[in-house]
Amino acid sequence: MAASLQGLFTPIPEVLEFESWWHERDLKRYMLILYFHSSGTFKVLVDDSKTPLTVHPMTRTSEPVRAWNLHVGGTVDILGRTTTLMSATMRTVSWLDENAKRLWKMKTTLEAKLNKFRAQPKTALDFGSFKHMADNKVCYGGKIDIGRIADCVAALEMELSQYQ
Protein backbone atom coordinates (compact mmCIF):
# COMPACT_ATOMS: atom_id res chain seq x y z
CA MET A 1 0.00 0.00 0.00
CA ALA A 2 2.91 2.37 0.73
CA ALA A 3 4.01 2.42 -2.91
CA SER A 4 0.49 3.29 -4.10
CA LEU A 5 0.19 6.09 -1.53
CA GLN A 6 3.50 7.69 -2.50
CA GLY A 7 2.04 8.70 -5.86
CA LEU A 8 -0.54 10.88 -4.08
CA PHE A 9 2.06 13.27 -2.64
CA THR A 10 4.14 16.07 -4.09
CA PRO A 11 7.90 15.37 -4.07
CA ILE A 12 8.91 14.63 -0.51
CA PRO A 13 11.73 16.80 0.86
CA GLU A 14 14.93 14.92 1.63
CA VAL A 15 14.69 15.92 5.32
CA LEU A 16 11.61 16.57 7.44
CA GLU A 17 12.60 18.32 10.66
CA PHE A 18 10.61 18.17 13.90
CA GLU A 19 11.22 19.18 17.48
CA SER A 20 9.99 17.67 20.70
CA TRP A 21 10.42 18.59 24.35
CA TRP A 22 9.55 17.36 27.78
CA HIS A 23 10.10 18.37 31.40
CA GLU A 24 12.52 16.44 33.56
CA ARG A 25 12.43 17.66 37.15
CA ASP A 26 12.95 21.44 36.80
CA LEU A 27 14.56 21.26 33.34
CA LYS A 28 12.97 21.52 29.93
CA ARG A 29 14.69 19.01 27.64
CA TYR A 30 14.70 19.31 23.84
CA MET A 31 14.98 16.75 21.08
CA LEU A 32 15.61 17.47 17.41
CA ILE A 33 14.19 14.78 15.12
CA LEU A 34 15.30 14.62 11.49
CA TYR A 35 13.47 12.21 9.19
CA PHE A 36 15.43 11.20 6.08
CA HIS A 37 13.00 10.10 3.39
CA SER A 38 15.52 8.27 1.21
CA SER A 39 16.62 5.90 3.99
CA GLY A 40 13.46 5.97 6.12
CA THR A 41 15.49 6.71 9.24
CA PHE A 42 15.44 9.29 12.01
CA LYS A 43 18.48 11.07 13.34
CA VAL A 44 17.67 12.08 16.90
CA LEU A 45 19.67 14.70 18.75
CA VAL A 46 18.86 15.31 22.41
CA ASP A 47 19.98 18.66 23.83
CA ASP A 48 22.86 17.19 25.87
CA SER A 49 24.14 14.68 23.30
CA LYS A 50 27.15 15.24 21.07
CA THR A 51 26.30 12.83 18.25
CA PRO A 52 22.89 12.01 16.79
CA LEU A 53 21.34 8.59 17.22
CA THR A 54 20.14 6.86 14.07
CA VAL A 55 16.79 5.13 14.60
CA HIS A 56 14.65 3.00 12.26
CA PRO A 57 11.15 3.83 13.51
CA MET A 58 8.09 1.62 13.15
CA THR A 59 4.39 2.42 13.28
CA ARG A 60 2.05 0.75 15.76
CA THR A 61 1.32 -1.87 13.10
CA SER A 62 5.06 -2.67 12.80
CA GLU A 63 5.44 -1.03 9.38
CA PRO A 64 8.24 1.45 8.63
CA VAL A 65 7.33 5.07 9.28
CA ARG A 66 6.81 7.05 6.08
CA ALA A 67 6.85 10.82 5.56
CA TRP A 68 3.05 10.91 5.39
CA ASN A 69 2.79 9.29 8.85
CA LEU A 70 4.45 12.34 10.44
CA HIS A 71 2.74 15.57 11.48
CA VAL A 72 2.84 18.11 14.29
CA GLY A 73 1.01 16.57 17.24
CA GLY A 74 1.62 13.03 15.97
CA THR A 75 3.48 10.47 18.02
CA VAL A 76 6.43 8.28 17.13
CA ASP A 77 8.11 5.52 19.11
CA ILE A 78 11.76 6.52 19.60
CA LEU A 79 13.91 4.16 21.64
CA GLY A 80 10.88 2.60 23.28
CA ARG A 81 9.40 5.91 24.35
CA THR A 82 6.36 7.54 22.77
CA THR A 83 7.47 10.94 21.54
CA THR A 84 5.08 13.69 20.44
CA LEU A 85 6.21 15.83 17.52
CA MET A 86 5.64 19.29 19.00
CA SER A 87 6.76 21.60 16.18
CA ALA A 88 8.33 21.53 12.72
CA THR A 89 10.40 23.76 10.48
CA MET A 90 8.65 26.03 8.01
CA ARG A 91 9.73 23.84 5.08
CA THR A 92 8.24 20.74 6.71
CA VAL A 93 5.01 22.56 7.66
CA SER A 94 4.69 23.94 4.12
CA TRP A 95 5.02 20.47 2.60
CA LEU A 96 2.50 18.98 5.04
CA ASP A 97 -0.05 21.79 4.56
CA GLU A 98 0.30 21.81 0.77
CA ASN A 99 -0.40 18.09 0.62
CA ALA A 100 -3.24 18.33 3.14
CA LYS A 101 -5.05 20.95 1.05
CA ARG A 102 -4.51 19.10 -2.22
CA LEU A 103 -5.53 15.70 -0.83
CA TRP A 104 -8.60 17.18 0.88
CA LYS A 105 -9.70 18.66 -2.43
CA MET A 106 -9.22 15.24 -4.08
CA LYS A 107 -11.23 13.60 -1.28
CA THR A 108 -14.18 15.98 -1.62
CA THR A 109 -14.17 15.64 -5.43
CA LEU A 110 -14.15 11.83 -5.22
CA GLU A 111 -16.93 11.85 -2.60
CA ALA A 112 -19.07 14.07 -4.82
CA LYS A 113 -18.60 11.63 -7.74
CA LEU A 114 -19.29 8.59 -5.55
CA ASN A 115 -22.37 10.07 -3.92
CA LYS A 116 -24.05 10.05 -7.34
CA PHE A 117 -24.01 6.25 -7.14
CA ARG A 118 -25.04 5.94 -3.48
CA ALA A 119 -28.57 5.95 -2.12
CA GLN A 120 -27.37 7.68 1.07
CA PRO A 121 -24.57 10.28 0.52
CA LYS A 122 -21.52 9.72 2.72
CA THR A 123 -18.57 11.82 3.83
CA ALA A 124 -15.41 10.69 5.55
CA LEU A 125 -13.05 12.36 8.02
CA ASP A 126 -15.26 15.41 8.69
CA PHE A 127 -14.57 15.30 12.44
CA GLY A 128 -11.82 16.13 14.93
CA SER A 129 -8.76 17.84 13.47
CA PHE A 130 -10.17 17.32 9.98
CA LYS A 131 -13.14 19.53 10.87
CA HIS A 132 -10.87 22.54 10.23
CA MET A 133 -10.39 21.38 6.66
CA ALA A 134 -14.10 20.80 6.20
CA ASP A 135 -14.71 24.34 7.50
CA ASN A 136 -12.07 25.72 5.05
CA LYS A 137 -9.74 27.10 7.71
CA VAL A 138 -6.54 28.34 6.07
CA CYS A 139 -3.70 27.69 8.55
CA TYR A 140 -3.10 24.09 9.58
CA GLY A 141 0.46 24.42 10.92
CA GLY A 142 1.41 20.89 9.84
CA LYS A 143 -1.09 19.37 12.29
CA ILE A 144 -3.21 17.48 9.75
CA ASP A 145 -2.54 13.73 9.40
CA ILE A 146 -2.06 13.54 5.63
CA GLY A 147 -1.60 9.78 5.79
CA ARG A 148 -5.23 9.34 6.89
CA ILE A 149 -6.47 11.58 4.09
CA ALA A 150 -4.34 9.66 1.58
CA ASP A 151 -5.75 6.34 2.85
CA CYS A 152 -9.25 7.77 2.44
CA VAL A 153 -8.48 8.99 -1.11
CA ALA A 154 -7.09 5.57 -2.05
CA ALA A 155 -10.19 3.83 -0.66
CA LEU A 156 -12.51 6.25 -2.49
CA GLU A 157 -10.61 5.74 -5.77
CA MET A 158 -10.93 1.97 -5.36
CA GLU A 159 -14.67 2.25 -4.66
CA LEU A 160 -15.19 4.61 -7.61
CA SER A 161 -13.36 2.19 -9.94
CA GLN A 162 -16.18 -0.33 -9.32
CA TYR A 163 -18.64 2.08 -10.94
CA GLN A 164 -16.50 3.21 -13.86
CA–CA separation, 146 and 124 (whole Å): 14
The pLDDT assigned to 128 comes to 64
Rg (CA), the chain: 18
What is the dotted CATH code of the domain comprising 2-88? 2.30.29.170
Note the pLDDT tens digit of each residue in 117-142: 887 777 777 666 676 666 665 567 89
Tell me what the pLDDT averaged over the chain comes to.
86
Q: Is the dihedral of CA 47, 70, 89, 21 positive or negative?
A: negative
Query: pTM, whole model, 2 decimals?
Result: 0.86
Q: Is the dihedral of CA 6, 8, 13, 17 positive or negative?
A: negative
Report percent pLDDT > 70 for the chain: 90
Question: What stretches of 37-152 adopt beta strand conformation (E)?
Answer: 41-46, 53-55, 75-78, 81-84, 87-88
Nearest Cα neighbor of 88 from 109, 74, 100, 99 is 74
The pLDDT assigned to 42 comes to 93
Domain limits of the chain?
2-88, 90-161
Q: How confident is the model at residue 60 (pLDDT cuts 50, 70, 90)?
A: confident
